[in-house]
Chain A
């Protein structure tokens, strides 16, 4: 990856955006999904492999409580979603990680489970974190119903009607996942097992497959309950409405430190996206088909923005602003105008610098979408086999140079100001999940997580000042082992320019929602719906092909869904 990254970055025709621009929290918090997002990669793989989904088990009572199994074959392996649906009192329905019961629970299973295996999973999956899992269990998840919308769809279909389009557009999902666990959690299979599986090698592909199958389950479940309620008048979901029903997700603080804890992986994701953007920017001209595509996508994005409304005042104000900017800039994409300029994409991106960050990031995602499959090769480099290793033989002048070149942003932060250390990250004893505390008001700052990257770098820089020029990193760390973490990160920056969030994560200005949106956009999420500055709801796979449509590949709505 490193050599490939360096080779691409140094190619003269590619002008990459600077990490000082890209890796700021505010901009990360304006991220949109792109064609390189993980769920898009999965859809293309499912389509190209001719995957077909079977449902060998469907054992549900009239109220939709029971078991189901969905299976498909991918890359020479069978995978099964084992689903359990249980009654849940309203007072127990919570999206918070401290919940202990859910409407539905799921395991993505390696193979096709027999009765004994289904029974084992029935004992454990509904208990989630309190259960215990094994190497054939690949992903663990759970979801709650969007209660009112689920009932509305049941009632509508049972009466022979389709659900109201406005309500469907407003909610967009029947089930909302509150955790999707992979990589060895609670005993499930390690990521290294999947890393060698054709079709699931990219980041979070097994998790995305799980969610896509949960979406199928949600469609089947709502139709099942409606049919049992009134078999004579029942009608199935219309295909275009079914396609617009994705899977919701609630994500909180637990996800936020992931980006800081996986710098190589973060770099690979951002590097792929920025490389795609740079390739498109470098186009000298756009042919008629590309200009048409640009116009279509512009209109689609505009309609998507019109259908995206949230309760959060801050984001809603941004969406309203973005709608206005998008409409005002419509003239930019006039084909005659774009044909008249050289490097039309670069021209568009340069003009966008005078618009909001939200506009800039939406436009960046749009031009990547316009380029279509020509950037799909970049998804191969988005996984990380391992995080980087220390280079003990590096001399201190080289380390100082890296620090100066890549961490200038960190050296300017005034940590003597209380506002710059107002928050601290820690792990809660109650649920073993990351939390964010106020230093002045809460206990526990002495146990804070090492997400204070900028502060660590400043301390390292201070200890490096008086050290001998000829010294190696090995000798320095023998005396200052507390700097090992920071040194490793700094050495990585030379080959992974987008590995670091270039903001102070302790500052009172640090909003975890920005980290969440960045990560979720790489997943392929849309309709970000923040409920505070530390958790958000999103929608996955809205507009994506269903199992009956998957052979045809991506739909026009895979990027930014629009209810037509």
Chain B
């Protein structure tokens, strides 16, 4: 498998643009970008996860709504059963946990893991059962840690994401070139 090494900013921007290109609203796409950072900091090819997840936009929207409802107590639990992309849900929840210091906890077949401490979400996703919100521990939530660089991105997923992102770009025209910043001026002064 050919991979490419991106920065976190590149992972986040590409995931957000791909989500926009796939048709998700901008505010949701921003959260997809945050989720990609959270996942890629924990050893996961997040761009690949986003590409998989964008195959079912309704599920991404549903994931985001469910996490909102969980965070404000309107639902007690989000079940993983029947979801096609568990890692996207975990990533969206992980980003919320990291950004808000909420104690979102993953229940899996074999135990319970606060997302703030989750080092290997890919392993947990395979047997994930539900997400719940718990009170933060005494002394507050630990600061999330992340690796210095994101996990490598599969070249095919990267190309797919670029393709989706490209749907948001406007081709140049003679008019746009002529009216662009700095057009028609000399810089040999």
Rounded to whole angstroms, the CA-CA distance of A134 and B4 in the bound complex is: 12
Shortest Cβ distance from B178 into chain A, in angstroms? 11
Cβ A189 vs Cβ B7 within 8 A: yes
A393 to B177, CA, bound (A): 46
Tell yes or no: B189 within 8 A of A by CB: yes
Q: When the two chains form the complex, which single residue of B25, B31, B171, B187 contacts A95, counting CB atoms closer than 8 Å? A: B187
Q: Which of A361-369, A401-409, A422-430 contacts B (4 or more CB under 8 A)?
A: A422-430
Knowing A96-B182, A447-B170, A474-B69 are in contact, say whether A481-B61 is a contact too (CB < 8 A): yes
* Interface residue? A21 (CB, 8 A): no
Contact residue range for chain B? 35 or more
Q: Which of A253, A428, A482 has the most CB of B within 10 A?
A: A428
Q: How far is the CA of A90 from the CA of B186 in the complex (A)?
A: 10
* A485/B30 in contact, CB under 8 A: yes
Interface size on A, residues (CB 8 A): 66
Chain A residues near B159: list those with CB within 8 A: none
Q: Are A444 and B170 in contact (CB under 8 A)?
A: yes
Task: Determine if B25 and A441 form an interchain contact, defined as CB atoms under 8 angstroms apart.
Answer: no
Q: Does A320 contact B (CB under 8 A)?
A: no
Given contact pairs A253-B180, A435-B180, A442-B176, A184 touches B9 in the complex (Cβ within 8 A)? yes
Q: Give CA–CA (A253, B181) in the complex, Å.
A: 6
Write out, one digit per residue, whether chain A residues 164-204 have a CB within 8 A of any chain B CB (1) or not (0): 00000000000010000001110111111100000000000
Closest B residue, CB atoms, query A251: B181
Name the CB-closest residue of A to B100. A389
Contact across chains for B181 and A96 when beta carbons are under 8 A apart? yes
Is B9 a contact of A478 with CB atoms below 8 Å?
no
Our count of residue pairs bridging A and B at CB distance below 8 angstroms stands at: 156
User: Most B CB atoms within 10 A — which of A90, A146, A447, A487?
Assistant: A447
Residues of chain B within 8 A (CB-CB) of A438 are: 179
Are A432 and B169 touching (Cβ within 8 A)? Answer: yes
Chain A 512-545, CB-CB to B under 8 Å as 1, else 0, gives 0000000000000000000110110000000000
A481-B25, A485-B27, A488-B27 in contact; A250/B170 too (CB < 8 A)? no
A437 within 8 A of B: yes
Counting CB contacts under 8 A, is A483 at the interface?
A: yes
**A473 lies within 8 A of B68 (CB):** yes
- Given A393-B73, A487-B27: A437 and B176 interface contact (C-beta under 8 Å): yes
Q: Given contacts A474-B74, A477-B65, are A428 and B26 in contact (CB under 8 A)?
A: no
Contact string against A for B residues 156-177, beta-carbon threshold 8 Å, 1 for contact and 0 otherwise: 0000000000111111110111
Interface residues as binary, B38-55 with A (CB distance below 8 Å gives 1, 0 otherwise):
000000000000000000
Most buried by A among B68, B72, B146, B148: B68
Quote the shortest CB–CB distance from B3 to chain A (angstroms). 13
- What's the nearest-Cβ distance from chain A to residue B141, in Å? 14
Interface residue A321 (Cβ < 8 Å from any Cβ of B): no
A477-B68 in contact (CB<8A): yes
Are B68 and A428 within 8 A (Cβ)?
Answer: no
B28 on interface, CB distance cutoff 8 Å: yes
| A-chain residues with CB within 8 Å of residue B130 when the two chains form the complex | none
Min CB gap A251→B, angstroms: 8
Query: Do A96 and B8 touch across chains, with their CB atoms under 8 A apart?
Result: no
- Residues on A with C-beta less than 8 A from B176 are 428, 435, 437, 442
A534 and chain B: residue at smallest CB distance: B181
Q: Flag if B9 contacts A481 (CB, 8 Å).
A: no
Inter-chain contact A184/B168, CB cutoff 8 Å: no
In the complex, the answer to whether B27 meets A429 with C-beta atoms within 8 Å is no
When C-beta atoms are compared, the residue in chain B nearest to A476 turns out to be: B68
User: Which A residues between 33 and 78 are near B, CB-CB below 8 angstroms?
Assistant: none
Q: Counting chain A CB atoms within 10 Å of each CB, which of B9, B10, B179 scores highest?
A: B9
A87-101 contacts to B, CB under 8 A, are: 90, 93-98
Q: How far is the CA of A191 from the CA of B172 in the complex (A)?
A: 31
* CB-contacts of A323-368 with B (<8 A): none
Q: How far is the CA of A488 from the CA of B176 in the complex (A)?
A: 32
A535 is contacted by which of B26, B61, B64, B182 (Cβ under 8 Å)? B182
Check A389/B96 contact, CB under 8 A, given A188-B7, A472-B72, A481-B28: yes
Closest to B25 in A: A482
Can you list 27 A-B contacts (CB < 8 A)? Answer: A90-B188, A93-B187, A96-B180, A135-B148, A147-B188, A147-B189, A148-B189, A185-B7, A252-B181, A253-B180, A254-B181, A392-B71, A428-B180, A429-B166, A429-B171, A435-B176, A435-B180, A437-B179, A441-B175, A442-B176, A447-B167, A472-B72, A474-B65, A475-B69, A481-B61, A481-B65, A485-B30
The 10 closest A-B pairs by CB, nearest first: A484-B27, A184-B9, A252-B181, A393-B72, A184-B7, A444-B170, A485-B27, A474-B68, A535-B181, A392-B68
